[in-house]
């Protein structure tokens, strides 16, 4: 059996990018279908970063999905960078008039799914064999299977929001697509524990044993990470080993007061920088992880997905409301200009804070000097603050 329908925008991928775009389009009366490879429960079982730039908070407000985020999100006006026992407090608001909001990506995605269900908009889950056709013509269409039914969706535009492992990007002909990639020789082992956070700001720690991060989700829910070799697996790390590693990497003041407890989630994330150029091909527009990946140092993954959604939503709005397609034609160029600046910042912060297996004594001295300069220099702190809270769109 085949069903056939027409929408204005077909969105491939029901992660934060696809769902946010869908909600924003709904506010201007543009109908969109979301096609998701997994189930809603599966998508909501993934634990990801949790620091939101103001630009993303504004998008959630525009989408009408920011109520819980405003109630439960924690405003942060600064962060701490440490090396050994030295702490550098970076007060964002001294340098740039914007805070960040700590709110888990999983919760943000849940809010978007709830809102989407409320509007009655169609989401197809468990989709397989997704293909995109005629994307350089006026009448593109997407085909897929879901629960034994074949679907054909005719549309004006396709938003490829299907993450790094999605199919959309592959529809840009290889001869016209350039991919830039850097894979780091380590990962982040992260745990979630029902314990009070060790500090009221996030702590990014450089230590002789490697990087660590102290983050949080609430007054009694903490998120911690330690750098591990790319070859390590979660079963090599019981909770005790994790807590000992964390204690060794953060300043003594925090190691002494750290409250530990059983982990309720534990996983390893590899670190990668990746950009696909261009981010558009005919009627196909890539958003978020489908087009680029950053290492999590600085929490830019979700926020950069959000800036793509901002540019694409504004361009689609201008197209549908004002009949002006100029911004759509420039989407890739506009989005990539910001993407590369964020790639630079995430790579810089990763290089500043991690131990690299190939690092020489010279490299370590340079890293130390960079940290000392940051500790002493207001312009260096301002640069970090401006990038961390989010570059303008
Ligand atoms: N068809 C339909 N859906 C697909 C397909 C496909 N062929 N391939 C992947 N997907 C789905 C995935 O199951 C996932 O739910 O697309 C979604 C992509 O979501 P994310 O990977 O979360 O990417 P994105 O929405 O761009 O969000 C970016 O979220 O994943 C984090 O680190 C990422 O923080 C970043 C942000
Ligand atoms: C998180 O809370 O999970 C988090 C915070 C900051 C980062 C990365 C992850 O840079």
Q: Which atom of ligand 1 is nearest to 296's Cα? A: 32
Place of tokens 């130390």: 368
Residue 126: Cβ within 10 Å count: 15
Residue 206 predicted with pLDDT over 90: yes
Q: Are 95 and 209 in contact (CB under 8 A)?
A: no
The C-alpha atoms of residue 73 and residue 50 are separated, in whole angstroms, by: 10
> Hey, which residues are catalytic here?
76, 204, 296, 300, 388
Instruction: Work out the burial of residue 378: count CB atoms within 10 Å of its CB; fewer than 13 is exposed, 13-18 middle, 19 or more buried.
Output: exposed
Helix ranges restricted to H, 235-300: 239-249, 252-255
Name the band, by pLDDT with cuts 50, 70 and 90, for residue 102: very high
Please list the residues that pair with 181 across neighbouring strands.
274
Same domain flag for 137 and 232: no
Q: Left if phi > 0, otherwise alpha if psi is -120 to 50, otherwise beta: which for 148?
A: left
Ligand number nearest CA of 81 is 2
Residue 48 predicted with pLDDT over 90: no
Q: What is the CATH number of the domain that holds 296?
A: 3.50.50.60
Q: Which of 13, 17, 46 to mutate to test the pocket of ligand 1 (most atoms within 8 A of CB)?
A: 13
Amino acid 327: pLDDT: 98
Ligand 1 centroid–CA 295 distance in Å is 16
Q: Are 276 and 178 in contact (CB under 8 A)?
A: yes
For the residues 26-35, what does the mean pLDDT come to?
98
Residue 156 predicted with pLDDT over 90: yes
The C-alpha atoms of residue 86 and residue 68 are separated, in whole angstroms, by: 36
Do the domain assignments include residue 254? yes
Amino acid 47: pLDDT: 82
- The domain of 242 spans 184-271+356-389
Same domain flag for 200 and 219: yes
Ligand 1 centroid–CA 362 distance in Å is 40
Count CA atoms within 13 Å of residue 385 on its CB side: 25
Residue 158 vs residues 32, 43, 125, 330, 331: alpha-carbon distances, Å: 9, 21, 17, 16, 13
Q: What tokens does 275 get?
A: 């950009």
**Cα–chain-centroid distance for residue 316?**
22
Q: Which atom of ligand 2 is nearest to 102's Cα? A: 2
Which pLDDT tens digit goes with each residue over 253-283?
999 999 999 999 999 999 999 999 999 999 9
Do the domain assignments include residue 11? yes
Same domain flag for 201 and 282: no
Same domain flag for 333 and 374: no
The C-alpha atoms of residue 293 and residue 341 are separated, in whole angstroms, by: 13
Same domain flag for 64 and 136: yes
Do the domain assignments include residue 89? no
Q: Are 234 and 158 in contact (CB under 8 A)?
A: no
Same domain flag for 225 and 335: no
Ligand 1 centroid–CA 165 distance in Å is 8
Amino acid 330: pLDDT: 98
Place of tokens 């407090």: 89
Peptide bond into 316 cis (omega under 30): no
Place of tokens 């608001």: 93
Q: Which atom of ligand 1 is nearest to 164's Cα? A: 21
Residue 380 sits at φ, ψ, to 5 deg, of -65, -40
Do the domain assignments include residue 87? no
Q: What tokens does 34 get?
A: 């979301």
Taking CA atoms only, the protein residue closest to ligand 2 atom 3 is 49
Ligand 1 centroid–CA 286 distance in Å is 11
Do the domain assignments include residue 96? no
Q: Which atom of ligand 1 is nearest to 289's Cα? A: 26
Instruction: Work out the burial of residue 185: count CB atoms within 10 Å of its CB; fewer than 13 is exposed, 13-18 middle, 19 or more buried.
Output: middle
Q: Are 390 and 303 in contact (CB under 8 A)?
A: yes
Domain count, the chain: 2
Residue 197 predicted with pLDDT over 90: yes
Taking CA atoms only, the protein residue closest to ligand 2 atom 7 is 299
Same domain flag for 120 and 230: no
Which pLDDT tens digit goes with each residue over 65-81?
999 999 999 999 999 99
- Mean pLDDT for the chain overall: 97
Name the band, by pLDDT with cuts 50, 70 and 90, for residue 209: very high
Task: With CA atoms as reference, report the closest residue to 21 among 6, 11, 8, 29.
Answer: 11
Instruction: Work out the burial of residue 381: count CB atoms within 10 Å of its CB; fewer than 13 is exposed, 13-18 middle, 19 or more buried.
Output: buried
Same domain flag for 257 and 241: yes
Ligand number nearest CA of 214 is 2
Residue 161: Cβ within 10 Å count: 33
Q: Which of 56, 216, 299 to mutate to test the pocket of ligand 2 (most atoms within 8 A of CB)?
A: 299
Residue 1 predicted with pLDDT over 90: no
Count CA atoms within 13 Å of residue 371 on its CB side: 25
Q: Which of 112, 162, 302 to mutate to test the pocket of ligand 1 (most atoms within 8 A of CB)?
A: 162
What residues are in contact with ligand 2 under a 6 Å CB criterion? 49-51, 202, 213, 215, 223, 296-299
The C-alpha atoms of residue 33 and residue 285 are separated, in whole angstroms, by: 15
Residue 85 predicted with pLDDT over 90: yes
Do the domain assignments include residue 125? yes
Residue 225: Cβ within 10 Å count: 25
Place of tokens 């809603």: 40
Ligand 2 centroid–CA 173 distance in Å is 35
Place of tokens 């020789």: 185
Same domain flag for 169 and 200: no
Q: Are 14 and 36 in contact (CB under 8 A)?
A: yes
Do the domain assignments include residue 91? no
* Four-point Cα dihedral 25, 342, 388, 184, nearest 10: 120
Residue 46 predicted with pLDDT over 90: no
Amino acid 118: pLDDT: 97
Same domain flag for 193 and 313: no
Which pLDDT tens digit goes with each residue over 288-321?
999 999 999 999 999 999 999 999 999 999 999 9
Ligand number nearest CA of 113 is 1
Taking CA atoms only, the protein residue closest to ligand 1 atom 21 is 163
Q: Left if phi > 0, otherwise alpha if psi is -120 to 50, otherwise beta: which for 131?
A: beta
Same domain flag for 208 and 156: no
Residue 182 predicted with pLDDT over 90: yes
Residue 2: Cβ within 10 Å count: 9
Do the domain assignments include residue 107? yes
Same domain flag for 231 and 370: yes
What residues are in contact with ligand 1 under a 6 Å CB criterion? 12-18, 35-38, 43, 48-49, 105, 127, 130, 161-163, 165-167, 288-289, 301-302, 305
Ligand 2 centroid–CA 99 distance in Å is 15
For the residues 54-74, what does the mean pLDDT come to?
97
Q: What is the CATH number of the domain that holds 197?
A: 3.30.9.10
Taking CA atoms only, the protein residue closest to ligand 2 atom 1 is 49
**Residues belonging to the chain:** 393
Q: Which atom of ligand 2 is nearest to 298's Cα? A: 10
The C-alpha atoms of residue 316 and residue 380 are separated, in whole angstroms, by: 38
């Amino acid at each position: 059996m085949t069903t056939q329908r027409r929408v204005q925008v077909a969105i491939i991928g029901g992660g934060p990018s696809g769902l946010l775009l869908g909600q924003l389009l709904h506010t201007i009366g543009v109908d969109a279908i979301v096609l998701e490879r997994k189930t809603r429960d599966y998508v909501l079982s993934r634990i990801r970063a949790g620091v939101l730039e103001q630009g993303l908070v504004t998008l959630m407000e525009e989408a009408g999905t920011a109520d819980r985020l405003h109630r439960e999100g924690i405003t942060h006006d600064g962060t701490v960078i440490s090396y050994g026992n030295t702490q550098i407090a970076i007060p964002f608001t001294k340098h740039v008039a914007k805070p960040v909001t700590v709110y888990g990506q999983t919760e943000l995605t849940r809010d978007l799914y709830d809102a989407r269900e409320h509007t009655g908009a169609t989401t197809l889950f468990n989709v397989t064999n997704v293909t995109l056709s005629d994307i350089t013509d006026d009448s593109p269409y997407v085909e897929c299977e879901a629960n034994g039914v074949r679907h054909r969706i005719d549309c004006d535009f396709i938003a490829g929001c299907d993450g790094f492992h999605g199919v959309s990007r592959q529809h840009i002909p290889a001869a016209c697509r350039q991919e830039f990639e850097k894979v780091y020789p380590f990962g982040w082992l992260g745990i979630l524990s029902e314990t009070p956070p060790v500090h009221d700001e996030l702590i990014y720690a450089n230590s002789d044993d490697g990087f660590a991060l102290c983050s949080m989700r609430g007054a009694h829910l903490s998120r911690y990470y330690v750098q591990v070799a790319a070859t390590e697996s979660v079963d090599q790390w019981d909770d005790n080993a994790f807590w000992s590693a964390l204690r060794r990497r953060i300043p003594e003041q925090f190691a002494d007061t750290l409250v530990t407890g059983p982990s309720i989630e534990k996983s390893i994330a590899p670190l990668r920088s990746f950009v696909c150029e261009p981010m558009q091909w005919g009627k196909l527009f890539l958003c978020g992880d489908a087009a680029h990946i950053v290492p999590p140092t600085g929490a830019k993954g979700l926020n950069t997905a959000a800036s793509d959604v901002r540019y694409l939503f504004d361009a689609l709005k201008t197209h549908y409301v004002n009949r002006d397609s100029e911004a759509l034609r420039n989407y890739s160029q506009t989005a990539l200009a910001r993407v590369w600046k964020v790639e630079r910042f995430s790579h810089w912060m990763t290089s500043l804070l991690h131990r690299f297996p190939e690092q020489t004594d010279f490299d370590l001295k340079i890293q130390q000097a960079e940290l000392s300069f940051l500790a002493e220099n207001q312009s260096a702190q301002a640069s970090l603050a401006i990038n961390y809270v989010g570059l303008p769109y």
